[in-house]
Chain A
Amino acid sequence: MAGGISTAIDAKSIKCNQKLIDATQESSWVRRLLIGVGLCYFFLFLLLPLGAVFVEALRKGWDAYLAALVDPDAWSAIKLTLLIAVVSVPMNLIFGVAAAWAITKFQFPGKRFLITLIDLPFSVSPVIAGLIFVLVFGAQGWFGSWFMDNDIKIIFAVPGILLATIFVTFPFVARELIPLMEAQGKEEEEAAIVLGARGWQVFRYVTLPNILWGLIYGVVLCNARAMGEFGAVSVVSGHIRGETNSMPLHVEILYNEYNFAAAFAVASLLAVLALVTLLIKTFVAWKAARIHAELKED
């Protein structure tokens, strides 16, 4: 008898639970519909363009693919792109760390405004980012005539490309680090100082290990944008083959010459860079979540 009652109660509570689950979840057909719609959208707008790059690159076979990559103009474009990354990423890295340090470890008026200013390059069109450097350094610009007299070329030369790239990648590291360091507070640094650590030691042994993954994430994003920037670089480059063509600009030239297979071959290298960036990003996020979980356990 007793068993019968408890089964009845169980059945009732299961029914109740089921009701509650039903009320806090979508019915299965809604769920399937949403997943279907979402996956279609994902396939159409993300997966298909990514696949198109690689398929079009190999359309004329491996030999044509490799030939497009060892072409001297392609090589100089690859070298210029690497140079852009090697110069602009460290500069914005140093800036990002300095800005995050000043903003998160100290109190001063106008902090919010400073953060907004740091984000500013993200809301400026890349074309305008190129334009402003033409206005400053171009022939009719502020310093244009002085540079021309001294035979220094900035616009339509590599320095202009570097400046425009630094501008568009300016906020990446800072905006990764600021929220991270803000969340971590400054007690650990203060403790290190009280225990006698010097300024640089505090950063190297206390702060850096805490922010390492966020730092890597910012650098990776910054690097991807620096190597792939098109609009800003296009305005200041002057498109001189073998001299001021970065990889994205080289893709454009090949494409406009109807040399599609070669254009996609160079583009595929940039697509691989993008995929590597995303993999590192995912790894960093996984690592950060693990560290967070460990801290919680402690």
Chain B
Amino acid sequence: MTSKLFKQSVIPGFGVTLGFTLAYLGLIVLIPLSAVVWKTTDLTLAQFWATVTEPRIVASLRLSFAASLIAAAVNACFGLILAWMLVRYRFPGKKIVDTLVDLPFALPTAVAGIALTAIYAKNGWLGQYLEPLGIKVAFTPLGIMVALIFIGLPFVVRTVQPVLEDLDKEIEEAAASLGANRAQTVFKVVLPIILPALLTGFALAFARAVGEYGSVIFIAGNLPMVSEIAPLMIITKLEQYDYAGATAIAVVMLFFSFILLLLVNTLQAWTAKRTGRDL
């Protein structure tokens, strides 16, 4: 490592660890992912366009993105309340709430899927009371949203919580002593500081929801044009041995994922700048 780009270090193991990292990353992640790009070249642009504009595919993509957006928005709102509660208030069961917030990260998605279906099906725990009111949750887009809210719940709480914890109380006291009432302090002083973190959590929850499969397919009912999500369409295409078609849908989804990833990175840099924290 004599090049000037590489700073000299007395610590050993640079070549071995970096070499292993790059090789493993290449073999497990990069080469397989590039297969998607390679496979799309099997299609002409016209064929690609025809696949991704099939009405059933368009409906599934629209549903996936719309349901994910709404679920992420719901989580942004209630996740903020949960984070606020956990940092600022004392209430019975606080430790349990704080621990179980991460449940969607740890609970296998298929388990979440069948549990939510048991709750919201027509004769389910809550479904039997909602059905007479004319609210159908399971086997409708509403059910998909419920599943996506579940799996996205921890993201906003866990991105906002540390920023709120680090927030200097003095800023709020300064605002208050300058005559701001509590609502003004919260909305004009505190909220702008945690906004980047809130948006990061929102974007992470959204990105996770768009690709989610396991928790959704049980509660979705998977009716064509009504409650089919985009990942399910990939599987449907694969089952028909239409590999190129499956890949075309995957490319569209990957494209949006990468845009979201860029957005999250930018937001995190913004969070770091605004709060003076180095992430």
Contact = CB atoms under 8 A, between A and B. Distances in A.
B115 A49 contact: yes
Contacts of A46: 100-101, 103-104, 150, 153
13 contacts: A38-B81, A50-B115, A52-B115, A103-B21, A117-B30, A123-B257, A128-B234, A190-B11, A228-B106, A230-B109, A235-B235, A278-B100, A278-B103
Interface in B136-158: 146, 149-150, 153
Interface of A: 20, 22-27, 30-31, 34-35, 37-39, 41-42, 45-50, 52-53, 56, 94-95, 98-99, 101-103, 105-109, 114, 116-121, 123-128, 131-136, 138, 140-142, 163, 166-167, 170, 179, 186, 189-190, 193-194, 198-199, 202-203, 221, 224, 227-231, 234-235, 247-249, 251-252, 255, 260, 263-264, 267, 270-271, 273-275, 277-279, 281-282
B181 interface: yes
A278 B211 contact: no
Nearest to B34: A132
A132 B32 contact: yes
Nearest to A128: B250
B48 interface: no
A132 B18 CA distance: 25
Contacts of A248: 108-111, 214
How many interface residues does chain B have, given as a range?
35 or more
Contacts of A135: 32, 35-36, 38-39, 243, 247
A35 B89 contact: yes
Interface stretch (B50-58, B170-178, B194-202): B170-178
A116 B265 contact: yes
A98 B234 CA distance: 34
Given A27-B182, A127-B231, A131-B246, A50 B107 contact: yes
Interface of B: 5-7, 9-14, 16-18, 20-21, 24-25, 28-33, 35-36, 38-39, 78, 81-82, 84-85, 89, 91, 93, 97-112, 114-116, 118-119, 125-126, 146, 149-150, 153, 169, 172-173, 176-177, 180-182, 185-186, 207, 210-214, 218, 231-232, 234-235, 238, 243, 246-247, 250, 253-254, 257-258, 260-261, 265, 279
A120 B254 CA distance: 11
A166 B172 CA distance: 46
Given A108-B6, A267-B110, A282 B24 contact: no
